[in-house]
């Protein structure tokens, strides 16, 4: 199983990759406004984070809609996520009392996955894209980081538990996937049944609804 990476200059101008590049470019500004720390700076920081989340959705949507799946995109999308996440975590440790133990756990997982991916690149094996639990894990990380940015205690408590659960599940799935690839076994695609989709959607909506309800009640009352 082998695949030679081919990155063309024109790939940098494709809309999905431009969205990922935009996410990388706004990361320093997010860090700056978080460092400033005033109420207005925090609002700007949240707006920029919302824009970053939008680019994360847009790059995948455009890649599927336009059929523009490239080697560069496989690198840029997760790289943009990692740069944004690491920048936020480091700043939150200094400015929002983000727990160091949790930062170590989160960053250690990312380093391990990148190290395994580097091994596959050297061996010219196919690099697996994010699995489903990995996507939910990153979304939960986003909610946790935003909760720290806006100092929302309920959101912090809620998503710390969710992050740890999804971290364990996604790490297990990644390790099993890499192990199968290294042994030359066929990668078995997850059969996403309708019942699973409905269950995930319902649970996600319930969690977000509770989050928003508590955020509004804590803010307004």
Residue range 58-92, pLDDT digits in tens? 887 787 787 777 777 777 887 888 888 889 999 99
Residues 42, 111 within the same domain: no
Of 176, 92, 89, 99, the C-alpha closest to 134 is: 176
Please list, in sequence order, all residues whose beta carbon lies within 8 angstroms of the beta carbon of residue 14, skipping any fewer than 6 positions away: 66, 68, 70, 72, 73
216 within some domain? no
163 within some domain? yes
Q: What is the pLDDT of residue 148?
A: 95
Number of structural domains the chain divides into? 2
CB 214 within 8 A of CB 155: yes
Q: What is the pLDDT of residue 147?
A: 94
125 within some domain? yes
Residue range 96-136, pLDDT digits in tens? 999 999 999 988 887 877 777 666 656 555 555 556 777 78
Separation of alpha carbons 156 and 170, rounded Å: 20
Of 136, 131, 163, 135, the C-alpha closest to 148 is: 163
Residue range 144-156, pLDDT digits in tens? 999 999 999 999 9
82 within some domain? no
Q: Average of pLDDT values for 10-28?
A: 87
User: For the whole model, what pTM was predicted?
Assistant: 0.79
Q: What is the pLDDT of residue 124?
A: 53
Please list, in sequence order, all residues whose beta carbon lies within 8 angstroms of the beta carbon of residue 155, skipping any fewer than 6 positions away: 143, 144, 146, 147, 211, 214, 215
The residue to which tokens 């699995």 are assigned: 131
Helix or strand holding residue 161 (H, E): helix 153-182
Q: Average of pLDDT values for 178-188?
A: 66
5 within some domain? yes
Q: What is the pLDDT of residue 122?
A: 60
Please list, in sequence order, all residues whose beta carbon lies within 8 angstroms of the beta carbon of residue 144, skipping any fewer than 6 positions away: 155, 156, 159, 160, 162, 163
139 phi and psi angles, rounded to 5 deg: -65, -40
Q: What is the pLDDT of residue 207?
A: 94
Residue range 158-178, pLDDT digits in tens? 999 999 999 888 888 777 777
Range of the structural domain that residue 10 is part of: 1-75
Tokens for 212?
Answer: 């928003």
Residues 185, 105 within the same domain: yes
Separation of alpha carbons 77 and 75, rounded Å: 6
Tell me what the pLDDT averaged over the chain comes to. 82
pLDDT at 18 over 80: yes
Of 117, 221, 124, 122, the C-alpha closest to 174 is: 117
199 within some domain? no
């Amino acid at each position: 199983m082998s695949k030679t990476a081919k990155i063309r200059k024109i790939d940098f101008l494709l809309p999905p990759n431009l969205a990922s590049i935009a996410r990388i470019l706004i990361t320093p500004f997010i860090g700056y406004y978080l460092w400033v720390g005033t109420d207005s700076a925090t609002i700007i920081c949240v707006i920029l984070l919302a824009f970053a989340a939008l680019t994360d959705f847009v790059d995948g949507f455009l890649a599927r809609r336009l059929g523009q799946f490239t080697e560069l995109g496989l690198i840029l999308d997760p790289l943009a996520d990692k740069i944004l996440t690491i920048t936020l975590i480091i700043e939150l440790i200094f400015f929002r009392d983000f727990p160091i133990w949790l930062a170590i756990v989160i960053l250690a997982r990312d380093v391990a996955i990148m190290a395994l991916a580097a091994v596959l690149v050297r061996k010219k094996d196919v690099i697996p894209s994010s699995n489903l639990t990995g996507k939910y894990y990153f979304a939960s990380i986003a909610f946790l980081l935003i909760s720290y940015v806006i100092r929302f205690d309920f959101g912090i408590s809620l998503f710390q538990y969710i992050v740890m659960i999804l971290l364990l599940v996604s790490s297990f799935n990644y390790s099993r996937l890499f192990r199968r690839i290294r042994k030359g076994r066929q990668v078995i695609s997850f059969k996403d049944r309708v019942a699973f989709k409905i269950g995930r959607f319902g649970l996600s909506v319930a969690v977000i609804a509770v989050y928003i309800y508590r955020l509004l009640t804590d803010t307004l009352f």
